[in-house]
Structure 1
Amino acid sequence: MKLKKYILETIKYALRSYPIIYPYIKDVENLYAMDAETLRKRNEEKFIMLFQRAYDKSPFYHKLYTEAGIKKEDIKTLDDINKLPIITKDMIKQHADEMLTVPKWKVIAANTSGTTGTPLKVYVSWRTIWFDQAYLYYSRKLNGFKYGQRLISLRGHLDKNITKIRVHLNNTLYLSSYNINKDTIEYYYNQIIKFKPQAIEGYPSSLYSLALFLKDSNLRVNIPVAFSSSETLLDYQRTLIEKQLGTEIFDNYGMTEKTIFLQESRNHNGYYELPGYSINEYVEDGEICTSLINTAFPIIRYKSNDVVELMETTEDNPQIIVKQVTGRKDDYIVCKDGCHIQQLSFLLKGGIIMRHNTNMHTCWRNP
């Protein structure tokens, strides 16, 4: 089982490694260097091409737009985007295969986490995967981490049966977030000290759990940078994580659907949109997003239930800045051995609490 996981993670990294994503990294660098007007013009061209491709090659969009009375010639500029109907998660669930603009064998199925509702199956092409990875590479590089440096991952790659795996090709030590408790924390501490990582990544709840047990055991480590995602990073979590891990944490917000990618700014005063990744329309009860990197499975004007709080823009800083993402708080349960079971939305939203698991109780620990 452990060998199989090692091989799987090695292959996954090899298919997303620097030599493969290098051309996409150069594209991302160019996007970061563009001024606002040049970037808007580029995004407009990409949007028009995406719309026309979806209209011609996707049975779902062709039907959706023709029934709405929309012709190809009606969409000429980016300002015309609001003429298009909004699509929802339910629509994707029902019509995913019809949304494709390429044969199904050319894409890979991916499942969302479902932190704000039911998990969803979407499709991505390899080009989309490589572009997304290039954005991640470049944004992390800006925050002091380069691929190939030592990284600890607490992102749920390992279950409770495997505590650690070191993958040599990507220089990453994967640690199980499900086994962190008062009896194992010294083992985790020793693994971190021995590995000497440059960075650590994980769900906020996983990083907080690690920091909490380190604090209880009067232990601290020193990891220069931390990256969190997939859940809302709360202020009390940030404070303890940075103190106990001796780190500076940068949060990001993205989706498996590849419809939005927000990165926390270097001065931690909010989140900025990764240039050229998507077109985002912020509304009172969420956001409406259009992916510019997934042409094989177009997602155009997709309504998410995640809620964001915007900061006011100024002439000195015209870029749209998101102050906070508030729709991704997830639940966890504390087991009798002290382990925190995270990412429980798929259980709690379905009304299931695994009542017959004798190792679990509903003791909630206040921050």
Structure 2
Amino acid sequence: MTTLASNYWNPYLETMAPEELRRLQLEKFQRIIAWAYERSPFYRELYSQAGLEPGDIKTWQDVRRVPTVDKGMLKSAQEAQPFPYGSRLCVPLEQVAEFRQTSGTTGTPVYQADTWQDWEWWSECWSYILWAQGYRATDRVFIPFGYNIFVAFWAGHYAAEKLGCEVVPGGVLDTASRVLKIKELQATALMGTPTYMLNMADVAKNRLGIDPAGLAIKRITCAGEPGASLPSTKKRMEEAWGAKVFDHAGATEIGAWSYECTAQCGGIHANEGMFLVEIEDPMTGEIIEEPGRKGKMIITALDRLAQPCLRFDSKDIIEWAAEPCPCGRTYRIIKGGVQGRADDITKVKGVLLSPSAIEEVVRGFDELADEYEVVVERIGDNDKITLKVEFNPGAQATEQEVLGRLKDQLRLKTNLGYQIEVHPLGSLTRYEVKARRFKDTRHLH
């Protein structure tokens, strides 16, 4: 079997001196670009057109000369042979051990092949995540998602086993049955999207009469949405479940590239032993090294073999934190986690709007229920934003008072005005995986 020797099995990666870690990253980048150039027609053509060969990559400035790729390019590459992965594949088909695909919410999904070594790498990445969040062999981990062709929490499942945890797969159960199973088995940990964690808590309390904070859950690992790094959403989940909530970010075509640790310093660690994370100014293309400047993430998976991910334009908006994490890890901190996506940020009435800014405001109102929806539409020559909300029962303030404060906060945080509609509790769409609360219909006209 064709393999690439790797040194990610290093227990000291997280505490390496920064200069030593940078040397390791450069070595790994040189190795993976040579691997991709030699074995993938897609990457060889891309780099040849740019006048680059692997031997040209000697410094960090050379790394920045390497062309970026995006999801559209990956989709085009898979139209070639071999089916279904195309010209990005770097190993014979018989060495592919795992199939996954992206969710396909933006069109044709990206098909992702992994060798068994890749899958071990996935598990190792997630082991760092779970260990940093306090998972130990004494945990009983309930994973409430439909096991499918999306990567979702598959690797989290195997990493929990690797750490010695007991894993309970929640597969085909409905939400109520999952809550009851969590109670029956006294599960201590959960994994899921922020949306579904709030949905489960709502079902437990309002349909089953079970207070989720009274269950045995101690920690929850979230992924798939930026909510777990938004203070108001994190607060809601932690109060609902009586547990600590931790964020994580990853993607099918990239890997599990970041995690929040128990220090919870207001950001997530970039898993720099296994990934090269760069932040690019979307206007100038400059690589941002200093803290406090937002840009889009360009990321390289340094150890993935079957379909390497090299300088991938993820569209995720991130920024470096100014201070290191007090946990002692030397991996840099991404302040506030993933703050949105470059392709989600849209201009409304001449103002740049990020959906996560709306979520932060709405989730800061205890009087409002967890679910909401935003619709942007074109009325004549003008844009209209409608925010649909639900009220929790027993709110102390009047509806008029809450809506007045809500409009003021939205204007303050987003510089826009909103038409607010109040809907009956439970009437808005509930989501089990990634939510689709922001709906821009202007392109339909």
Question: What is the distance in 2 between the residues matched to 1:314 and 1:350?
Answer: 38
The residue type paired with residue 301 of structure 2 is S
Which amino acid in the other structure matches residue 226 of structure 2?
T
Contact preservation (8 Å) 1:230, 1:253: yes
Contact 1:278 1:290 in 2 (8 A): yes
Write the letter of the residue equivalent to 1:299.
C
- Number of aligned residues: 315
Structure 2 unaligned blocks of 5 or more: 1-5, 79-85, 149-157, 283-295, 342-354, 357-370, 374-423
Question: Which of residues 193, 203, 208 is equivalent to 2:198?
Answer: 208
RMSD: 3.7
Q: 1:155–1:203: 8 Å Cα contact kept in structure 2?
A: no
* Deviation digits for residues 64-115 of structure 1 (CA, Å, limit 9, x no counterpart): 1111111333212343111111111111111142112211221233212356
1:70 counterpart SS class: coil
Higher relative contact order (CA 8 A, sep 6+): 1
| AA at the equivalent of 1:253 | A
Equivalent residue number for residue 276 of structure 1: 273
What is the TM-score with the length of structure 1 in the denominator?
0.73
Does 1:102 pair with 2:91? yes
1:60 paired with 2:42, answer: yes
- Asked if 2 retains the 8 angstrom alpha-carbon contact of 1:200 and 1:226, the reply is yes
Aligned residues of 1:229 and 1:254 also touching (Cα < 8 A)? yes
Give the C-alpha shift of residue 28 in structure 1.
4.2
User: Which residue of 2 is the match for residue 69 of structure 1?
Assistant: 51
Aligned counterparts of 2:254 and 2:123: Cα–Cα separation in 1: 11
Q: Secondary structure at the match of 2:226?
A: coil
Distance 1:304 1:36, change over 3 A: same
The CA deviation string for residues 191-238 of structure 1, in whole angstroms up to 9 with x for no partner, is 222211121111111111112333444623231111111111243332
Deviation of the 1:344 alpha carbon: 6.1
* Conservation of the 8 A alpha-carbon contact between 2:195 and 2:435: no
Distance 1:309 1:291 in 2: 19
**Residue from 114, 123, 126 that aligns with 2:116:** 126
Partners of 2:88 and 2:104 in 1: CA distance: 20
Counterpart AA for 2:339: T
Q: C-alpha distance in 2, partners of 1:174/1:327? A: 30
Determine the structure 2 residue equivalent to 1:257.
253
> Aligned runs of 1:1-367 on 2, under 5 Å?
27-96=9-78, 97-107=86-96, 108-114=98-104, 119-146=109-136, 149-157=139-147, 171-175=166-170, 179-180=174-175, 184=176, 188-216=178-206, 217=209, 219-220=211-212, 221-233=215-227, 234-259=230-255, 261-268=257-264, 269-285=266-282, 286-313=296-323, 319-323=331-335, 324-327=337-340, 340-343=430-433
Q: Which has the higher helix share?
A: 1
- For 2:211 and 2:260, the matched residues in 1 are separated by 28
In the other structure, the counterpart of 2:151 is none
Q: 1:26 to 1:89 in 2, by over 3 A?
A: closer
Q: Deviation string for 1:251-282 (max 9, x for gaps)?
A: 10011113561111322221111131111111
Relative to structure 1, the CA distance from residue 192 to residue 347 in structure 2 (aligned partners, 3 Å threshold; closer, same or farther) is closer
Higher mean Cα deviation, 285-294 or 32-41? Answer: 32-41
Alignment gaps of 5+ in structure 1: 1-23, 159-166, 352-367
Q: Aligned equivalents of 1:136 and 1:282: distance in 2?
A: 23
Q: Is the 8 A contact 2:14 2:331 kept in 1?
A: no
Instruction: Give deviations 1:152-206, integer Å, cap 9, x for gaps.
Output: 1123338xxxxxxxx9x873333369833xxx4xx55442222111211111111
Letter in 2 for 1:87: V
Cα deviations by residue, 1:5-33 (Å, 9 ceiling, x for unpaired):
xxxxxxxxxxxxxxxxxxx9981423224
> Residues 273 and 321 of structure 1 are in contact (CA less than 8 Å); yes or no, is this contact kept in structure 2?
yes
TM-superposed deviation, 1:35:
1.9
CA distance in 2 between partners of 1:263 and 1:295 (Å): 22
